[in-house]
């Protein structure tokens, strides 16, 4: 299969800091920022300078390295260094509670902290190398997801996506948009319809930006338009990402995804979730157990710093919803496409 070469690298460890694209500045500016401390990384994750489950996971891994570098300058006792660093690692996991990739990557770093036989400087170096390893693996995993997903994309298909599960949600290729990139590499008649994704407009600000940067034909629609275009026969399939997938296949993704899945089911349009195996949380049975992050009221009340509603109105702002497994045609992973019954297909992977 032809390989698609994206121009985008979202996050990279370099010169003892984590360099990432500041996604709060889109679409007005494409700028890299250097995150130089653990607390800066916590804020970068929390404030969505970096976002997207796989990218958040890598950011978390880098954040543990940054904390380790800081603590090593303050504490010379190895046991005290380890206990302090483990506390900071657990703190890092609280920056975004829904994205399981963050918990996964931090736990990978914690395993090194607990099991290393090295001194303090050796532990710091091991954490750094593991962060770089996870970073590079993410790109390869996403390319595998893309290639498996491309197999189910019809020739000339129009693919609807919601939020941003692209290069800018990962290290550099994408999950849902990795499927798009791999499909486009073998068929340049593929095109994308992107939901704007209220309230933070990741589809409008980020998906349209990265796809146009990579030359893939893209049409932006508002969140309420998907069923209209489905009824008109203009959507062939839906591919979205996920922040956490339960053992039964229920999938948490950006708020509004559930609505798209219902519309797709009604119109007999296949709805796929594309995500690495690290997004599957086998510790939970169903999506009812997924913690849904509540975000600030200002994300809803304001656009570009200007209020758009009555100032006193009540606001509820969940960051995610959960799509029931019954609405999902397949979960596209780096090991292939999982099909119902998801309990069995996930269990068969041995994760």
H helical segments located in the chain: 38-46, 53-74, 78-92, 100-115, 120-150, 176-186, 202, 208-213, 226-231, 257-266, 298-301, 342-348
Rounded Cα distance between 55 and 18, Å, is 12
Rounded Cα distance between 237 and 152, Å, is 9
Angle at 340 between CA 336 and CA 343, to 5 degrees: 90
Catalytic residues: 243
Collapsing DSSP states into helix, strand and coil, what is residue 187? coil
Q: In what order do the strands lie in the sheet with 244-245?
A: 244-245, 251-254, 320-323
Rounded Cα distance between 241 and 59, Å, is 18
Rounded Cα distance between 343 and 351, Å, is 12
174, exposed or middle or buried, with CB in 10 Å at 0-12, 13-18, 19+? buried
* Residue 333, H or E segment: strand 330-333
Contact (CB, 8 A) for 162 and 254: yes
DSSP for 105-127, written as a single string = HHHHHHHHHHH--S-HHHHHHHH
Q: How many helices (H) and strands (E) does the chain have?
A: 12, 15
Rounded Cα distance between 162 and 223, Å, is 8
Q: Per residue in 201-220, is it b (16+ CB within 10 Å) or e — as a string?
A: bbbbbbbbbbbeebebebeb
Length of the chain: 351
The dihedral region occupied by 201, where left means phi > 0, alpha psi between -120 and 50, and beta the remainder, is left
């Amino acid at each position: 299969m032809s390989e698609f070469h994206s121009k985008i690298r979202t996050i990279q460890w370099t010169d003892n800091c984590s360099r990432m694209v500041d996604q709060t500045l889109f679409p007005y500016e494409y700028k890299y920022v250097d995150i130089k401390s653990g607390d800066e990384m916590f804020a970068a994750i929390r404030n969505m300078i970096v976002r997207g489950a796989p990218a958040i996971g890598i950011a978390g891994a880098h954040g543990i390295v940054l904390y380790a570098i800081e603590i090593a300058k303050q504490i010379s006792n190895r046991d005290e260094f380890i206990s302090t660093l483990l506390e900071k690692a657990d703190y890092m996991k609280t920056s975004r509670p829904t994205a399981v990739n963050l918990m996964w990557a931090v736990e990978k770093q914690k395993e090194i902290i607990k099991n290393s036989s090295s001194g303090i400087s050796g532990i710091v170096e091991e954490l750094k190398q593991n962060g770089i390893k996870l970073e590079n693996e993410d790109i390869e995993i996403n390319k595998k997801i893309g290639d498996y997903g491309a197999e189910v994309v019809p020739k000339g298909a129009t693919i609807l996506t919601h939020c941003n599960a692209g290069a800018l949600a990962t290290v550099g290729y994408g999950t849902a948009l990795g499927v798009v990139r791999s499909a486009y590499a073998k068929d340049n008649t593929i095109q994308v319809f992107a939901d704007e994704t209220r309230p933070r407009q990741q589809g409008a600000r980020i998906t349209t930006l990265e796809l146009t940067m990579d030359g893939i034909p893209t049409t932006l629609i508002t969140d309420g338009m998907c069923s209209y275009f489905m009824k008109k026969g203009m959507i062939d399939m839906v591919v979205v990402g996920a922040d956490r997938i339960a053992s039964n296949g229920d999938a948490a993704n950006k708020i509004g995804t559930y609505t798209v899945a219902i519309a797709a089911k009604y119109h007999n349009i296949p709805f796929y979730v594309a995500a690495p195996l690290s997004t599957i949380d086998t510790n939970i049975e169903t999506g009812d157990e997924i913690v849904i992050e509540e975000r600030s009221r200002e994300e809803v009340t304001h656009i570009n710093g200007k209020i758009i509603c009555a100032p006193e109105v009540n606001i509820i702002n969940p960051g995610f919803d959960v799509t029931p497994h019954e609405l999902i045609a397949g979960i596209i992973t780096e090991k292939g496409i999982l099909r119902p019954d998801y309990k069995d297909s996930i269990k068969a992977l041995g994760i």
